[in-house]
Structure 1
Amino acid sequence: MDKTELYGRLLLDTELTMELRRSLIDRAQPAVVQQGNYIECQRCLSKTRKEQAMLPNGTYYCPQCILLGRVSSTNQLYHLNEPNLFSKLTQTPLSWQGQLSPFQQNCSKKLIKALDRPGKYLMWAVTGAGKTEMLFPMLTKALLQKKRICLASPRVDVCNELYPRIVAAFRKITPVLLHGHSKQSYQYSQLTICTTHQLLRFQHAFDLLIIDEVDAFPFVNSQMLKKAAKRAMKISGTLVYLTATPTKNMLVRIKQNKLPVSYLPIRFHRKLLPVPQVWLLNHWQNKLARKKFPVKLTNCLRKWSKDALPFLVFVPNIELLKPVLQVLRSVLPKNVLGDSVYSADPQRITKVQAMRDHQLNYLVTTTILERGVTFPSLNVMILGADERTFSVSALVQIAGRVGRSQKRPYGDVIFICQDYVKNVKDAVQQIKDLNKKGDKLLNE
């Protein structure tokens, strides 16, 4: 293991070679400390009651960050300061040949200004606005200034989609991709793409930290991950949030002028967002129990298949994945191929990639694919859109999967409900309001 792999990192003794541990013995710090009736993990900064964290041998472990490997009171943590030992670039690292629209350029210029001042910044842009491309000028400037950069997201699928796009746009840079399913081994790089959980392994590393889909689970409700993001940045660093659906707290801070923001209510192709159709089908679950769909629903799915259009069918819980998939396979032609996917699915990445590669015509999915994934010419259906599982932001994000491509900037978004509940009404209204703002911008 090379010493550079510890720059800006916070790693356990068990993750280091014996030789490196010996050379850095003065850098070791306890991984878990005791504070009265609690223990505090120094990797994730979480506190746990001693009785919940005690091991049979009398030592303590942290249950909060166990997904990254167990850390206990017998472990040490190691860290080396980030020296920004990157080669000086004499030419622009940007190999992307595209061009931003005037609206995108305006947002992009504000991002570049944000890079020059420490603190937080929000880019609020509708789904399909081209947020990734709007980052390119800022990333270019940061790379030329030898800044260390991280693009993080709460979702693995978002990271997997971002990585090839960043590689293609910056061919002179070798980014590293980090998440629990990544086959890449860690290497010291100026540009890191990772899940927000991986930020727990960094300390004062990044001059620029960008969190895409910042309002997504699990980051949005996790104080642990928010602390990790703060610690992963340098004190003088810039933190940029990206989202199409800001949280209520963010909206309040914007109104209070405590969170600088750039806002784009129009997609890159200058077309408005598809407005969802709400179908009240009271007995769809009873039909499903009899291994059938309502006729209207079946006809719709058959039409999509006949038109050779890919589609996603969202369900409110894992238990519905199998029965819905079975009915789909029974009512659609044999050559229309589909599968189901959920967060803990061991084949999750493979299935999503198969959909991207047109090897699958459809996926039945939980909310894990509500955001951050793009399939051209897509249609979407939500079964049980009135269930509590689907928040307003989730419904807006799911609708935002449709109409993203220049070739087909439209498509069907269908909410299947038993009741026209407030979340559904609010989601539809929010999309209509965004379209009003987008239309106004286009006609100014």
Structure 2
Amino acid sequence: MQCPRCKNTDVAYFYKGSKGYYCRKCIKFKRILLEEELEVFDVKEIKEGISEYTLPFTLTPQQEQVSKQCKEAILHQDVLLHCVCGAGKTEITYRSIQQALDLKQKVAFSIPRRQVVLELGKRLQSVFKDCKVITVCMGHTEELDGDLIVLTMHQLYRYPKCFDLLIVDEADAFPYKGNEVLKNIALNSCKGHIIYTTATLDEYLKQRVQDQSIAYLTLHRRPTNALLPVPRVITLPNLFLWFYLLYRLSRNQRKIMLFVPTIAMAKRMYKWLKLYFRIDYITSETEDPQSILMRFKHQQIKVIITTTILERGITISDVDVYVLYANHEVFDEASLVQMVGRMGRVAPFVKGDGILFCNAYSEEVHRCIKQLRRSNEVSMVYE
């Protein structure tokens, strides 16, 4: 037995109802009987003359080269865009999107988080002005078909064998990372090829690179042409760690993103630090994170306390990054690289003061520093 949607073969997940066997592993995406054919999504034909796009800036020579390589490779195989944080992964895919639309192919851009879907949808519509861009995520499921569909990964179940080009953004991030159900639903939605974009590789992508089953393209330099900021590591006992954090916050005149490992800690830190600083916090429980981010961007707030919810998909100029208890088990190499990757993304603020506050040695912290230094070394070699 095999589920036609998530490809599960574990008999423990199959249940026999009155109409036959169905899979409980992916039942939250709508029940489907094993004997059923997946309902094919009825897509409208792509019109001609909608593929032109306009960028408000010029790609760097390095971005141009990777963009052209991606466009050529995606015709024949899946592509992995392994680019450092802030290298412009989204813009590099535009040529491939244009090519697919010219061929009247259906394109989707899947993203881990709902808020980023809504933001990217607006961004892509401003670039592909003649193309109908729609967003599909929680609260936005009234319209399901367009020329270019931007959606969360959980919404891919609606589109079996639909897309000729599927872009999986941040393929190593939650909830896609390690989730066999979502991975197989994504594969099931694509009848063509997939572009995976990320700054940090998980084991699945590493294995595909090793097997040479995917075109592997890299970009180790940001458009600003500056090296990646490498954070300092401060290891102290708990009490001294907190005093040193308070000292650094009081001395720093720039905006600061303070990452903490848990929601409970974010709330405690907010109650304590709001006595001394203009501060707010964002977690997965925050009802209106955008208003807080706007206040932060306009310097109405000096410090924003957050969890891994803001480790990706956000660009703020002139910001420093502090990670409290960077050695916590919640943080791995990938999340640490992504968090410190919020620094130095916008010229002229290409440098940043990043600090990883630890109360014990961490192998993940060590790997994070090693990866950032290696990226800088590689970018200087190819300069």
State the TM-score, normalizing by the size of structure 1. Answer: 0.78
Cα gap change, 1:132 to 1:359, in 2 (>3 Å): farther
Cα gap change, 1:389 to 1:58, in 2 (>3 Å): same
Deviation of 1:78 (Å):
6.6
What is the identity, as a one-letter code, of the residue corresponding to 2:312? R
Aligned counterpart in structure 2 of residue 179 of structure 1, from 114, 132, 137:
137
Question: Is the 1:149–1:192 Cα contact (8 Å) retained in structure 2?
Answer: yes
Cα gap change, 1:193 to 1:359, in 2 (>3 Å): farther
Question: Is the 2:326–2:358 Cα contact (8 Å) retained in structure 1?
Answer: yes
Aligned counterpart in structure 2 of residue 300 of structure 1, from 248, 267, 274:
248
Deviation of 1:345 (Å):
4.2
Per-residue CA distance 1:174-200 (angstroms, 9 max, x = gap): 2111112x4462242110111111111
Q: Quote the Cα distance in structure 2 between the aligned partners of 1:71 and 1:359.
A: 48
Q: SS state of the match for residue 278, structure 1?
A: strand
Aligned to 1:25: none
What is the identity, as a one-letter code, of the residue corresponding to 1:339? Y
Deviation of 1:79 (Å):
2.5
Q: Quote the Cα distance in structure 2 between the aligned partners of 1:145 and 1:72.
A: 33
What is the identity, as a one-letter code, of the residue corresponding to 1:406? A
Aligned to 1:108: 67
Does 2:371 align with 1:430? yes
Cα gap change, 1:283 to 1:51, in 2 (>3 Å): closer
Aligned to 1:161: 119
Aligned to 1:395: 336
Cα gap change, 1:178 to 1:361, in 2 (>3 Å): farther
Deviation of 1:220 (Å):
1.4
Aligned counterpart in structure 2 of residue 86 of structure 1, from 41, 46, 49:
46
Query: 1:16-415 counterparts in 2 under 5 A?
Result: 42-46=4-8, 63-65=24-26, 67-68=28-29, 71=31, 79-80=39-40, 85-89=45-49, 92-117=51-76, 119-180=77-138, 182-183=139-140, 185-234=142-191, 237-284=192-239, 293-294=242-243, 296-304=244-252, 307=253, 309-332=254-277, 336-342=278-284, 344-348=285-289, 351-352=292-293, 355=296, 360-415=301-356
What is the identity, as a one-letter code, of the residue corresponding to 1:325? Y
Deviation of 1:41 (Å):
5.6
Per-residue CA distance 1:9-55 (angstroms, 9 max, x = gap): xxxxxxxxxxxxxxxxxxxxxxxxxx6xxxx7655444676799689
Alignment RMSD: 3.0
Per-residue CA distance 1:203-227 (angstroms, 9 max, x = gap): 1111100101001112111111111
Q: SS state of the match for residue 366, structure 2?
A: helix
Q: SS state of the match for residue 216, structure 1?
A: coil
Deviation of 1:61 (Å):
7.3
Residue range with higher mean Cα deviation, 374-383 or 362-371: 362-371
Q: SS state of the match for residue 177, structure 2?
A: helix
Question: Is the 2:136–2:144 Cα contact (8 Å) retained in structure 1?
Answer: no
Q: Quote the Cα distance in structure 1 between the aligned partners of 2:13 and 2:25.
A: 14
Q: Quote the Cα distance in structure 2 between the aligned partners of 1:63 and 1:302.
A: 52
Cα gap change, 1:195 to 1:265, in 2 (>3 Å): same
What is the identity, as a one-letter code, of the residue corresponding to 2:217? S
Greater radius of gyration (CA): 1
Cα gap change, 1:51 to 1:390, in 2 (>3 Å): closer
Deviation of 1:108 (Å):
0.4
State the TM-score, normalizing by the size of structure 2. Answer: 0.89
Per-residue CA distance 1:244-303 (angstroms, 9 max, x = gap): 11123423432442321111111111000001111123124x98xxxxx41x31132233
Per-residue CA distance 1:328-350 (angstroms, 9 max, x = gap): 20121xxx2412312x5444566
What is the identity, as a one-letter code, of the residue corresponding to 2:182? L
Deviation of 1:311 (Å):
2.4
Q: Quote the Cα distance in structure 1 between the aligned partners of 2:7 and 2:208.
A: 25
Deviation of 1:369 (Å):
1.5
Q: SS state of the match for residue 208, structure 1?
A: strand
Q: SS state of the match for residue 177, structure 1?
A: strand
Q: SS state of the match for residue 342, structure 2?
A: coil
What is the identity, as a one-letter code, of the residue corresponding to 2:119? E
Q: Quote the Cα distance in structure 2 between the aligned partners of 1:351 and 1:43.
A: 39
Unaligned runs of 5+ in 1: 1-34, 288-292
Residue range with higher mean Cα deviation, 395-404 or 356-365: 356-365
Deviation of 1:404 (Å):
0.3
What is the identity, as a one-letter code, of the residue corresponding to 1:262? L
| Matched residues, number | 383
What is the identity, as a one-letter code, of the residue corresponding to 1:200? Y
Q: SS state of the match for residue 416, structure 1?
A: strand
Q: Quote the Cα distance in structure 2 between the aligned partners of 1:103 and 1:349.
A: 33
Question: Is the 1:176–1:184 Cα contact (8 Å) retained in structure 2?
Answer: no
Aligned to 2:382: 441
Cα gap change, 1:252 to 1:44, in 2 (>3 Å): closer
What is the identity, as a one-letter code, of the residue corresponding to 1:94? Y
Q: SS state of the match for residue 220, structure 1?
A: coil
Q: SS state of the match for residue 151, structure 1?
A: strand
Unaligned runs of 5+ in 2: none
Q: Quote the Cα distance in structure 2 between the aligned partners of 1:340 and 1:303.
A: 23
What is the identity, as a one-letter code, of the residue corresponding to 2:186? A
Q: Quote the Cα distance in structure 2 between the aligned partners of 1:439 and 1:283.
A: 38
What is the identity, as a one-letter code, of the residue corresponding to 2:55? W
